């Protein structure tokens, strides 16, 4: 499958192409599926870093379509990893539902990167949802001893069963039902975060929700709470329809 103009642009930006092979699948919930892969030699070339992601190519009515997914439990020595799909309507979810061992998918590695906060934060604040769950878990794994408050937006009852890698002794999870296109999450975070931010210089805020919500919260944290740019990481993971 050709990758169209997006593929040309990624090539110009030194994107590296790989082919992944499905080795198995796992239904985490009725709306969340994990697919296991061999990496086609990628990890031996690139190594692994927290929140590392790759662009996967799907066919959308015969046209190339790419979506970014965070690697889960990547093992460079074995050349394996998993991807997790929050299932909804769309070609990526359709592909994940139908995936079987032996299936292959094309991928491009370009744009991924992570700069660990330095010095290590004294407290971590995370805002996310099922789409960013793999990246959230990767971040928590990278900073296992840092106390964290996590606002996790949910849309379905089964979202309560999603596997957040939290430690009960120093991770505080606050589940927030999605309402008003994310406005309810914004209201709760802006109400609660200031009282928790007792050490702004030692804090690190990581936000990955829908684009509009991410933009609003990022602006709030930087302008209203005056956190420096290097202590805030914000990326819109999807666009609300």
Q: Render pLDDT for 19-41 as a digit per residue (tens, 0 to 9).
A: 999 999 999 999 999 999 999 99
Q: What pLDDT score was predicted for residue 186?
A: 97
Q: What is the pTM of this model?
A: 0.87
128 and 35 both lie in a single domain: no
Q: What pLDDT score was predicted for residue 179? A: 94
- Mind listing the pLDDT tens digit for each residue in 153-200? 999 999 989 999 999 899 999 999 999 999 999 999 999 999 999 888
Give dist(CA 143, CA 50) in Å, integer. Answer: 10
CATH number at 23 reads 2.40.30.10
Give me the mean pLDDT over the 229-235 stretch. Answer: 90
Element (H or E) spanning 58, and its range?
strand 53-60
pLDDT exceeding 70 applies to what percent of the chain?
A: 92
* Confidence at residue 14, expressed as pLDDT on a 0 to 100 scale: 58
Average pLDDT score, the chain:
90
Same domain, 69 and 147: no
Q: Identify the pLDDT of residue 241.
A: 59
Query: 174: domain range?
Result: 123-234
* 166 HSE (CA, 13 A, CB side): 22
Task: Tell whether 127 and 225 lie within a shared domain.
Answer: yes
How confident is the model at residue 92, as a pLDDT?
94
Instruction: Answer yes or no: do 101 and 20 share one domain.
Output: yes
Residue environment code for 85-96, b if the CB has 16+ CB neighbours within 10 A, otherwise e: bbbeeeebbebb
pLDDT in tens, 42-83: 999 988 988 999 999 999 988 888 899 999 999 999 999 999
Number of domains in the chain: 2
Q: Is the pLDDT of residue 236 over 90?
A: no
- Orientation angle between helical segments 211-219 and 183-196, nearest 10 degrees: 30
* Residue range 89-117, pLDDT digits in tens: 899 999 999 999 999 999 998 766 677 78
For residue 8, pLDDT over 60 is answered with no
Domain match, 105 and 129 both: no
Residue given tokens 């971590």 in the structure block:
124
Residue 6 scores a pLDDT above 70 = no
- In the listed set 50, 80, 109, which residue is the last one of a domain according to the structure? 109
* Structural domain contains residue 115: no
Domain membership of residue 95 (yes or no) is yes
59 shares a domain with 129: no
Residue 141 has pLDDT above 50, yes or no: yes
Of 83, 109, 135, the one marking the end of a domain is 109
SS3 content of the chain, % helix, strand, coil (to 5): 30, 35, 35
Distance CA 200, CA 107 (A): 39
Asked if 128 and 105 sit in the same domain, the reply is no
Q: Does position 123 have pLDDT exceeding 90, yes or no?
A: yes
Bond prior to 202 in cis (omega within 30° of 0): no
Specify the CATH number for the domain of residue 134.
3.40.50.80
Query: Are 96 and 17 in the same domain?
Result: yes
- The pLDDT of residue 4 is 56
In a domain, 73, yes or no: yes
Statement to judge: residues 128 and 69 lie in one domain? no
In a domain, 214, yes or no: yes
Asked if 201 and 174 sit in the same domain, the reply is yes
Residues 100 and 156 in one domain: no
136 pLDDT above the threshold of 70: yes
Q: Looking at the structure, do residues 48 and 135 belong to the same domain, yes or no?
A: no
């Amino acid at each position: 499958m050709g990758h169209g103009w997006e593929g040309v642009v990624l090539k110009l930006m030194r994107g590296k192409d790989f082919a992944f092979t499905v080795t198995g699948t796992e239904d985490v919930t009725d709306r969340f599926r994990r697919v296991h892969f061999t990496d086609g030699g990628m990890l031996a070339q690139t190594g692994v870093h927290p929140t590392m992601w790759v662009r996967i190519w799907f066919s959308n009515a015969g046209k190339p379509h790419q979506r970014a997914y965070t690697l889960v439990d990547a093992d460079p020595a074995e050349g394996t990893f998993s991807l997790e799909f929050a299932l909804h309507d769309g070609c990526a979810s359709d592909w994940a539902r139908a995936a079987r061992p032996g299936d292959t998918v094309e991928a491009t590695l370009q744009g991924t990167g992570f700069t660990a906060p330095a010095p290590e934060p004294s407290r971590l604040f995370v805002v996310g949802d099922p789409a960013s769950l793999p990246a959230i878990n990767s971040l928590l794994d990278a900073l296992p001893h840092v106390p964290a408050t996590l606002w996790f937006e949910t849309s379905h009852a089964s979202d309560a069963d999603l596997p957040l890698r939290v430690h009960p002794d120093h991770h505080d999870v606050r589940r927030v039902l999605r309402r008003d296109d994310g406005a309810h999450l914004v209201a709760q975070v802006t109400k609660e975060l200031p009282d928790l931010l007792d050490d702004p210089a030692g804090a690190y805020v990581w936000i990955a929700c829908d684009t509009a919500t991410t933009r609003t919260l990022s602006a709030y944290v930087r302008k209203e709470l005056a956190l420096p740019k290097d202590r805030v990481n914000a990326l819109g993971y999807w666009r609300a329809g």
